[in-house]
């Protein structure tokens, strides 16, 4: 064990035992999300019982800089903590004497049949978690048949990831501040056979204090970043002659920009990062194909508001006209059930599969997906809901 791990563990043990702290909500999220079973280190993916077991191994395997990149939120991390705490305020209304001997988690989404409503969220730069980054993640998803969304900030290109996944992957677009470059990315994505585009809208700007403490050209970071590179060097921008100072974000992006994007591609467009019901209304009028309720896993705004609390407001506006996807803080199958009960058609997970990837590569990713699928089945049995269509708002209180 590295000495930094050892001292971090001691600090956490001290904090966990302190009577001054009422619970996890009060802990600085310098380390893991859950503190019990902290010392359990699974020897292989098979031995991980829940996703927090994967987190333990990831914490051990990742450098401090990369651990910080994965675990951080913004500002004082109110939104990051709120995302988790939100599920604790919702309670299952267990039902009995329903035949739950067979459970179906199958669902239709955006012209695809999904065996499970759990999707792998777009995550930038998975090379920090595993040498083969998104390729390894795609192999993990292939083993279990889950859908995967590839980030614009991915370490590997969409063609290689598609080949590893064995079918076209869905794609997440950062708008960039140069329309022609964005269009160049889009043409490459279309050529890969991808037909669903997630437009991320939630980080016009943000304040990631914890990451800023790391010099990204230091030894801690250069095992996966080449010093001096910019967004222009990202794999998905290669061959597009992007200027060095191109920004992944477009602060001028507005609803007219979205309409222009809508007219420039036949791909289905999902707007990612919606939390306000009025934005859901505007997104519907802009002709999007689905809404993704997300706050970027607590890495965007510091609203202190959980996505599970934003979800019903958006669902009430959408009224079933298009699918609603949500993410943020999902760590248990029961969390998935709660999101589905409040009207989500599917959910995404971010950090849990990164932990799996950092812990055991593709086996870790597959195991995380299997764990959550299994826990969802258990939750569905307790809820007396043998299929996803049986899950309603009455399922939770
Ligand atoms: C390390 C990390 C990198 C991320 N990179 C992206 C990205 O490139 N594009 C994007 O739209 N969302 C990105 N996200 C947000 C995820 O897509 C997703 O919304 C979030 O992780 C869900 O919350 P969870 O991590 O609590 O499951 C990232 C999240 C993490 C943790």
Task: Name the token pair of 55.
Answer: 């987190």
CA 310 to chain centre: 16
Note the pLDDT of residue 300.
Answer: 97
Note the pLDDT of residue 183.
Answer: 98
Note the pLDDT of residue 223.
Answer: 63
In this structure, the residue with its CA closest to atom 20 of ligand 1 is 297
CA 160 to chain centre: 21
Compute the distance between CA of residue 165 and CA of residue 370 in angstroms, rounded to an integer.
17
Spacing, Cα 120 to ligand 1 middle (Å): 10
Note the pLDDT of residue 150.
Answer: 98
First-to-final CA distance of the chain: 44
DSSP code of residue 109: E
* Phi, psi angles (nearest 5°) of residue 389: -65, -20
Compute the distance between CA of residue 375 and CA of residue 354 in angstroms, rounded to an integer.
19
Q: What is the mean pLDDT of residues 318-347?
A: 98
How far CA 176 is from CA of 187, 228, 241, in Å, comes to 15, 19, 14
Q: What is the mean pLDDT of residues 216-223?
A: 67
User: pLDDT band at 215, cuts 50/70/90?
Assistant: confident
Show the ligand 1 pocket: residues with CB < 6 angstroms.
Answer: 69-70, 83, 121-124, 151, 153, 172, 200, 272, 294, 296-297, 299, 327-330, 348-351
Compute the distance between CA of residue 315 and CA of residue 319 in angstroms, rounded to an integer.
6
User: Mean pLDDT of all residues in the chain?
Assistant: 91
Kind of pairing between the strands at 290-293 and 196-200? unpaired
Compute the distance between CA of residue 194 and CA of residue 392 in angstroms, rounded to an integer.
31
Note the pLDDT of residue 335.
Answer: 98
Domains (range + CATH), the chain: 3-76 (no CATH), 107-395 (3.20.20.70)
Best residue for ligand 1 mutational test, from 55, 86, 123 (most atoms within 8 Å of Cβ): 123
Buried b (16+ CB within 10 A) or exposed e, 294-310: bbbbbbbbbeebbbbbb
Spacing, Cα 226 to ligand 1 middle (Å): 22
Which of these, 255, 233, 305, lies nearest to 276 by C-alpha position? 305
Q: What is the mean pLDDT of residues 330-335?
A: 98
Q: Which atom of ligand 1 is nearest to the CA of 70?
A: 1
Note the pLDDT of residue 221.
Answer: 66
In this structure, of 32-36, 208-212, 306-310, the range with the lowest mean pLDDT score is: 32-36
Is there a catalytic annotation at residue 296?
yes
The predicted-structure confidence for 221-257, as pLDDT tens digits, reads as follows 666 677 888 999 999 999 999 999 999 999 999 999 9
Query: Looking at the DSSP assignment, which residues form a beta bridge with residue 92?
Result: 396
Note the pLDDT of residue 214.
Answer: 80
Q: Which atom of ligand 1 is nearest to the CA of 351?
A: 25
Note the pLDDT of residue 35.
Answer: 56
User: pLDDT band at 315, cuts 50/70/90?
Assistant: very high
Q: What is the mean pLDDT of residues 200-229?
A: 82
**pLDDT at residue 359 greater than cutoff 80:** yes
Kind of pairing between the strands at 107-109 and 112-114? antiparallel
Note the pLDDT of residue 32.
Answer: 59
Q: What is the mean pLDDT of residues 159-180?
A: 98
Backbone dihedral region for residue 393 (phi beyond 0: left; psi -120 to 50: alpha; all else: beta): alpha
Which of these, 364, 324, 322, lies nearest to 346 by C-alpha position? 324
Note the pLDDT of residue 16.
Answer: 44
Spacing, Cα 67 to ligand 1 middle (Å): 14
How far CA 82 is from CA of 35, 38, 70, 76, 239, in Å, comes to 17, 22, 17, 11, 41
Spacing, Cα 121 to ligand 1 middle (Å): 6
- DSSP assignment of 75-106 equals TT-HHHHHHHHHHHT--B----S---SS-B--
**pLDDT at residue 179 greater than cutoff 70:** yes
The predicted-structure confidence for 107-119, as pLDDT tens digits, reads as follows 999 999 999 999 9
Residues, the chain? 397
**pTM assigned to the model:** 0.92
Note the pLDDT of residue 20.
Answer: 38
Q: Which atom of ligand 1 is nearest to the CA of 331?
A: 27
User: pLDDT band at 211, cuts 50/70/90?
Assistant: confident
Q: Which listed residue (112, 276, 296, 374) is catalytic?
A: 296
DSSP code of residue 28: -
Buried b (16+ CB within 10 A) or exposed e, 194-225: bbbbbbbbbbeeeebebeeebeeeeeebeebb
How far CA 391 is from CA of 45, 227, 237, 342, 382, in Å, comes to 31, 50, 42, 9, 11
User: pLDDT band at 210, cuts 50/70/90?
Assistant: confident
**pLDDT at residue 25 greater than cutoff 90:** no
The predicted-structure confidence for 48-62, as pLDDT tens digits, reads as follows 999 999 999 999 999
Compute the distance between CA of residue 324 and CA of residue 143 in angstroms, rounded to an integer.
26
The predicted-structure confidence for 380-389, as pLDDT tens digits, reads as follows 999 999 999 9
**Residues of the chain above pLDDT 90, percent:** 84
Note the pLDDT of residue 1.
Answer: 37
């Amino acid at each position: 064990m590295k000495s930094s791990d050892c001292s971090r563990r001691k600090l956490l043990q001290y904090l966990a035992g302190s009577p001054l702290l009422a619970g996890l909500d009060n802990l600085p999220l310098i380390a893991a999300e859950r503190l019990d079973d902290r010392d359990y280190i699974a020897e292989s993916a098979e031995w991980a019982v829940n996703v927090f077991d994967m987190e333990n191994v990831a914490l051990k395997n990742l450098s401090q800089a990369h651990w910080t990149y994965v675990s951080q939120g913004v500002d004082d991390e109110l939104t990051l903590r709120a995302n988790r705490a939100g599920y604790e305020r919702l309670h299952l209304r267990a039902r009995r004497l329903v035949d739950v001997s067979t459970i179906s988690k199958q669902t239709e989404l955006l012209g695809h049949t999904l065996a499970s409503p759990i999707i792998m969220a777009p995550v930038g730069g998975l090379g920090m978690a595993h040498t083969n980054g998104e390729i390894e993640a795609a192999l993990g998803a292939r083993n279990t048949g889950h859908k995967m969304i590839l980030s614009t900030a991915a370490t590997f290109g969409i063609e290689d990831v598609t080949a590893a996944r064995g079918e076209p992957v869905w794609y997440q677009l950062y708008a960039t501040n140069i329309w022609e470059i964005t269009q160049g990315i889009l043409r490459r994505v279309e050529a890969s056979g991808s037909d669903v585009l997630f437009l991320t809208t939630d980080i016009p700007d943000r304040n990631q204090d914890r990451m800023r403490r790391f010099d990204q050209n230091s030894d801690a970071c250069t095992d996966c970043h080449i010093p001096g590179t910019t967004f222009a060097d990202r794999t998905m921008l290669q061959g597009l002659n992007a200027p060095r100072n191109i920004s992944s974000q477009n602060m001028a992006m507005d609803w007219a920009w979205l309409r222009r994007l809508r007219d420039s591609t036949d791909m289905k467009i999902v707007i990612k990062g919606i939390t306000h019901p009025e934005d859901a209304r505007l997104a519907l009028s802009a002709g999007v194909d689905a809404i993704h309720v997300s706050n970027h896993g607590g890495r965007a705004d510091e609203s202190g508001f959980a996505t599970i609390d934003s979800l019903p407001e958006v669902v009430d506006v959408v009224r079933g006209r298009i699918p609603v996807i949500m993410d943020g803080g999902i760590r248990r199958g029961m969390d998935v059930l709660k999101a589905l009960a409040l009207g989500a058609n599917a959910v995404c997970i971010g950090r849990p599969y990164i932990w799996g990837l950092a812990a055991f590569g593709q086996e870790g990713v597959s195991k995380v997906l299997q764990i959550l699928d299994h826990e969802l089945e258990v939750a569905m049995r307790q809820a007396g809901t043998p299929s996803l269509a049986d899950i309603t708002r009455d399922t939770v209180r």
